[in-house]
Structure 1
Amino acid sequence: MSQKDVLSELLKPLRLTDTYYSKWLVGGDWGVAGQEDSHAVLHYMVRGECFITHEGAEPVRLDEGDLALFPHGTAHAFSSAPGLITTRLHQMLPTRTAGSYHAVAVGDACPDTEILCASLHFDSATEPALYRALPPVIVLRAHMLGDEPLLLRTLESLPVEISRTAPGSRMVSLRAFEMVLVLSLRTAMERLAAESPALRALRHPGISRALTAMYASYATPWTVETLSREAGMSRSAFAQTFRELVGEPPARHLMTRRLQEARRLLKDASVPLHKIHELIGYQSHVGYHLAFRKEFGITPGELRASRTGQEST
């Protein structure tokens, strides 16, 4: 399968449920520090420049047309220059309700910089295991976006779209941000693979084929041996390379994918509880039950009951 196929399968379960977005007009000396977020966060430089910093990393300058994506919502600050005293985000925006929009003015001079910021909300249960291995921040420069017309045009349209009150505007904005997330990851996969083992995994001919198999055909009784054949690699080379790039052994990654699918099926009361282990590739109900409880601290029946109001079995 192609590299785009693996990304499609990887992100298929990941759908945005809501967004919070804001437009920042800033000038002079300024700085804002955000807390750890449970959602992805992005900053798009509509005009001007700023610096972003997060713990353990050097400041990164963003110029007009650049995009910074924090896949895991890593705590970070953005400011007019490195080292400036920053105001806490929650002091400036004490209420940030999903689906809402704010325009914010910051700084001690006439605004010369405009930034589109968004918090992208998705169900953590749908987060692909490999997504968790992405770096804290992905920076796409303006020249990279220039080679991605769909991503660039979507970003350029968002500042106007998010301020509209026309029918369906909220859904349009939600899906537009979802497209930005997917296209940003595709661009990073193609242009920044050297910067991240997880991105290299998506580009690696053999590992990407194995990942596609795991995500698209998770119910198949895969073993490390059969996955290595799918990858066209020796068993030892496959197991070592997979662990180096993905950050965990193939069997563990496959288990996570299967249990993620189990959580999705448990939301659907029409799917019999006693059938789910077969649907996700477990030969034994007991093995599935034990793995699920160890992973999530709750039994499948208890989760079904909490989601559907049924009694657990």
Structure 2
Amino acid sequence: MPLLQINAPGSGAPNSPIDLGAAAGPLAAGSGPIVIMVHGYRFAPGRGEDCPHRHILSLAPSVRDPKAVSWPRGLGLAPGQPIRAIAFGWQGMGPVRRAWDNAAGAGQVLAGLIAALHRIAPHRPVQAMAHSMGARVILSALETLRGPGLARALLMNPAAYQSQARRALAPLNGGNTEVISVTSGENDLFDLILERLVPAPCRGDRSLGAGLPGQDRFVTLRLDDPHALAALARLGHDIAPPAARICHWSPYLRPGVFGLYRALLWSPERLPLDLLRSKLPQDQPPRWSRLWPVMPRGARLRRPLPARDTGGIPA
């Protein structure tokens, strides 16, 4: 079985459905990276159709949802392979503020898992990928770790703040971690919702969708930028152009993206960060740049958010 399921305590399902102790031998005997996959908001293990292990983190999703695209399958996992990945579940249901706090706590659990993997299989790099608020889980883990951490993290439309990413990538924390932030103007509305529902930790802070200027180990990949898509095509990765003006799930629904993710996570030497930075545009266009062409001249966004926190951003 190539995939382990590990859940943070309090997630609504038993912790570690497949005991990590029993997996220690196969993990140590294996080779190559171990990839940890982290879901975002509005998922929780054991919650019926909202269980990530029946949805995006399953090898064979049982949920009838067009967004239930299997990340493990996309990454090339198949039954009969040795352990190569871990599906990490946490309690992401409820109001945004509650899920936001839960994500930080889940990050501490994830830090313990990463440390355990390094003890069990020190020869295997540990990578991670996450969508939306799952990025906060990963960044919280990097803030907690004081030893070997993640070699590379792939954050898809991250629901997190710039200040946390800077702390997470500080030398004492994730000092050697490379972060690739996959974003798109399709997600501008959701970035705004995050900034309105979750107060910024410090003045001038913005969501990570705005990039992270001045950070050498951070690269932004905008899937709505035709120059970025052309550069990726020249590197051998043809990704379909955006099909919507607003979409939170585009980074894992877009045809062609998983071929890129396989290269980024399983064979990072094929796409080193310096190469990506030299080929991909790093300038961030203004927010709403994808919407302006279809909005009447002089139009203004009115009441883009609910008056109170009764729900929030889907992930």
Fold match by TM threshold 0.5:
no
- Which structure: larger Rg? 1
Larger strand proportion, structure 1 or 2? 1
Larger helix proportion, structure 1 or 2? 1
Give the TM-score, by structure 1 length: 0.24
